[in-house]
A and B are shown apart, each in its own frame.
Chain A
Amino acid sequence: MEDEKDYALPEFDTGEKDNSRRNFLKQSTLLTAIALTPGTAIKAADMRVDEKIAEAFEKMPVKLEVNGVAHNLSVEPRATLLDILREQLDLTGTKKGCDHGQCGACTVHVDGHRVNSCLTLGVMASGKKITTIEGLAKGDELHPMQEAFLKHDGFQCGYCTPGQIMSAVACIREGHANSEMEIREYMSGNICRCGAYPNIVNAIQEVKEGGHAV
């Protein structure tokens, strides 16, 4: 056996020895801004007497318009748009594949632009219009891109598919679908491990060339 060592991974020294989160709460400009915060509430949180009070102070109001429906939510600032969609709004069509903006499975449209919802905090999207895969079809009538993915079999397991489709729609809107090569390049932020890439490209080309409104 080697010498005993502390093998824990290095940490950033925050200069706070105990419960930095609550210290942050007490000191934060956020709370200073909410001047009406009763001191007793902070004390209660500090004493851990009431988890609900602590929870309330950890949350912020957020207004999201998702697929045309307005939601007034109270979310933790650290909650990602992806987790809010999936865990709070039960819109599980938007997928978590990496949580690091590296796979594109979580792609949604924010004010019409494609974004990785895992790299977007919910609070950043406040007041914005979000479209998820659930909001793409018009009732029973599929969006042309959804139809094209079906026809060209642009998927196998289907897990990356919502992100691919949201990205594909944006790819055409952006004007980045003018050739097979350009589509491949501008769709490379969406990984498909089943390997449906050629079918995805064919689907996008068909929609582009079909002149459908996307």
Chain B
Amino acid sequence: MKLIVSPFTNDTMTNDTMTKGMSRIDGRLKVTGAARYSAEFTPAGMVYAVLVGSTITKGTIRSIDTKAAEKAPGVLAVITHINSPKIAGYRVEPGKQEPAKGTYKLFYNNKILFNGQPIAVVIANTFERAQYAASLVKAQYIADTHQTKLAENTAKAFAPEGDGKKTRGIADAWKTAPVKLEQEYIIPSETHSPMELHAIIAKWDAPDKLTVWTKTQGVQDTQDGIANIFKLPKANIQVNSKFVGGAFGSALQVWPHEVAAILAAQVVKRPVKLVLGRADMFTSVGYRPHTWQKIGIGANADGKLVGITHEANGQTSTYEDFNEGPAGVSHSTYACPNVNTIYKITPLDIGSPTWMRGPGEATGAFALESALDELSYALNIDPIELRIINNAETDPDNGKPFSSKYLKEAYKLGADGIGWSDRKAKPASVTKNGWLEGYGMAVGMFGAYRDKASARAIMMADGTLIIQTAVSDIGPGTGTAMVTIASDIMGIPADKIRFDMGDSSLPQAPSQGGSSTTATVGSAVYQACTDLKENFQKLIGNGGTDKPDYVAVLKKNNLPKLEVTSAVSGGPEMEKYAMYSWSVHFIKVLVHPATGVVKVDKAVCVADSGHIVSPKTARSQIVGGAIGGIGMALMEEVIIDHRYGRLVNNSFADYHLPVNADIPQIEALFVNKPDPYLNPMGAKGMGEIALIGMAAAVANAVFNATGKRIRELPITPDKLVGMENLLES
């Protein structure tokens, strides 16, 4: 595919210019309540399903009493491992061994692998009746000793396939450096906690034909997933997910509750709706795994890095190996001749983790960017200066040139934005109105990817352009960006363009994940519009015109419409260049010396995300990711009562995440220079980098404010309390 840098402006953008940009194309539906999410459809005859979860953490179900539930009013069926129809995809091929690891299999046997594991599903004609009947299901268990504590099970840790040890240069070279440190950094498990509960409506249209409305980041990946589990032809499964109420990685796979609803609909022969409760959201749809890390880092007195050793050990489930490579950031972020990483995962009796915004890079960046900050104090070099000294001009891992990298510009923008010159290098030296004040910064990086995708562009006789592709939108504003691209190429106003998505029957698109939607699907939309315009030029003849009158051309040629479907994939540039998006987060905190309360006073986030296609939604995406990162830094933590292996804080009252009062105005700044190689728009991803590095930026600011280095997240007041003496000195 020919790479074209479109003639968008590349001026640096600020908050002010952002608000003047185009509003969301689906905004009106969202502010009027007309946008329908997965649980908000009502096929005729629909009934309700509620799951029953295991109350033990490991063992077997000895017996399960469903009689009372079955007799309760309105109950149509209760399905357990005893009476569940066999699921075709779970069957082990004759002569083959049952695989040791794999996705959790619903109602497969009587084994309990984690607390809250679904052991039954109750189907009734109203939600209230299903919920009440679910409370009547009683199981007797034979409990086995469970293990839910990472620190006590490190002996079981092993290197995940393909991502264990990796060494560049000499291992442990940091130890030879004149200035060095070695520290441990710990993050707890965190949950995605999207506001929309995971939900599915399953409807069998025929014994081998299924329609689902389900919360998913990828309608076609869900279609594949269901096809594999139920051994149905892919074409027989219709997946709808037009509006997704946030996901952050939690809707990238087919979960057991989706299997339960599909199974239930099969058994009761009616459409079934299943909405997870908020408590289930903490145990049933993955989480960012609790991870221990250790970094050894050393530099010469001039700040030049000598070596980094980065170890990581993250938890996973006993039945599935989840590998997110958190130590990878130490290989790619800075020019350092000697880097060795060791990554292990530890199986515990907990449900499987999954990708959560920023995945391994966010975990790894907390450790690396905290360590770099510690090193800057040890060297007495400004943290920004230290990063510039070690700036990688080419990919340190393979020597490839970067397709684009404007990190140095980003440092400058952010430093000016936050007022970095007001920062005092000496920790705990500034107090204002009884609060300690400090500044911190940190870098985030994430690979800029591009996958294959298709889009259809249809010009209707009335001049309406319809763009269709099977992408999902979990909130970043995919449709708005796609319409902006189409409008730019076709030369027609955005309000003449309709964008269809979230439907598995539309042209191929990958799941929304890994910050790749604009690069991937945007390229397909770009190509389809370019091809459609070319077809119009051919109809016009003589080379056409740059601004065709589409309506007139269709009329003249007696055509009701003109349409084209175009498929694109990443070009050879993907091999030639190292492609990354970069962010720099700048934070000013106030810390209350007596109570240890941390307030984020100011945040400035700078993104090197290539050309910004949709300024208003891009700004919101950066601000939102930053807030997620502030939650990671200051409050989010899944707490397990290890005596029972059960979650203690599985509610929004107890699992603290940022609320409005916690968040100041956040400035999002964009370098806004196009990447010449990744895609024709010059865009790079920004969903992940919005969060990656933020937790370290906050921790670094807290150190600057207090002189206390918090290496275990979240930075709750109990870790800082009792610093009144700092005010007196």
Interface residue ranges, A against B (CB under 8 Å): 1-2, 4-9, 19, 21, 48, 51, 54-55, 58, 76, 78-79, 83, 86-87, 90-100, 102-103, 105, 132-134, 136-137, 142, 146, 149-153, 155-162, 165, 180, 183-185, 187-201
Contact = CB atoms under 8 A, between A and B. Distances in A.
A193 B56 contact: no
Interface stretch (B135-143, B255-263, B556-564): B135-143
Interface in B419-466: none
B528 interface: no
B475 A194 contact: yes
A96 B340 CA distance: 47
Nearest to A48: B71
B28 A100 contact: no
Contacts of A200: 660
B84 interface: no
A196 B132 CA distance: 36
B44 interface: no
A159 B660 contact: no
A190 B665 CA distance: 17
Contacts of A180: 665
28 contacts: A1-B143, A2-B145, A8-B140, A79-B128, A87-B127, A91-B33, A93-B34, A96-B275, A98-B651, A132-B33, A133-B32, A153-B620, A155-B30, A156-B475, A158-B26, A158-B31, A158-B35, A160-B195, A160-B245, A187-B660, A188-B659, A188-B661, A192-B660, A193-B193, A193-B195, A193-B657, A200-B660, A201-B665
Nearest to B281: A98
A183 B73 CA distance: 46
Where chain A touches its partner, the secondary structure class is loop
B127 A150 contact: no
A195 B626 contact: yes
Interface string B17-29: 0010001101111
B666 A198 contact: yes
B42 interface: yes
A147 B194 CA distance: 24
A96 to B, nearest CB: 6
Q: Which of B74, B141, B660, B661 has the most CB of A within 10 A?
A: B660
Given A4-B62, A87-B127, A184 B660 contact: yes
Contact of A97 (B132, B139, B196, B617): B196
Contacts of A191: 195, 652, 657, 659
Interface of B: 19, 23-24, 26-37, 39-40, 42, 55-56, 59, 62, 68, 71-74, 126-128, 132, 138-145, 192-197, 243-246, 248, 275, 277-278, 474-477, 616-617, 619-621, 623-628, 651-653, 657-666
A151 to B, nearest CB: 7
Given A102-B651, A159-B37, A188-B661, A196 B623 contact: yes
Given A100-B651, A165-B31, A157 B195 contact: yes
Contacts, number: 221
A55 B141 CA distance: 34
Given A4-B142, A9-B55, A157-B474, A193 B246 contact: yes
B271 to A, nearest CB: 14
Contacts of B56: 7
A200 B40 CA distance: 25
A75 B19 CA distance: 45
A198 B663 contact: yes
Contacts of B145: 2
Contact of A96 (B19, B138, B197, B666): B197
A190 B624 contact: no
A7 B651 CA distance: 22
A156 B621 contact: yes
Given A79-B128, A153-B619, A162-B31, 11 more contacts: A2-B142, A55-B73, A91-B33, A95-B37, A102-B651, A105-B195, A134-B32, A153-B616, A159-B194, A159-B246, A193-B657
Given A96-B275, A188-B660, A146 B144 contact: no
Contact of A199 (B193, B196, B620, B628): B620
Nearest to B31: A146
Contacts of B660: 183-185, 187-188, 190, 192, 197, 200-201
Contact of A150 (B23, B62, B619): B23
Contacts of A160: 195, 245
A143 to B, nearest CB: 9
A194 B624 contact: yes
A87 B59 CA distance: 38
Contacts of B19: 151-153
B477 A159 contact: no
Contacts of B71: 48
Contacts of B275: 96
Contacts of B621: 156
A2 B31 contact: no
A95 B651 contact: no
A159 B196 contact: yes
Contacts of A105: 195
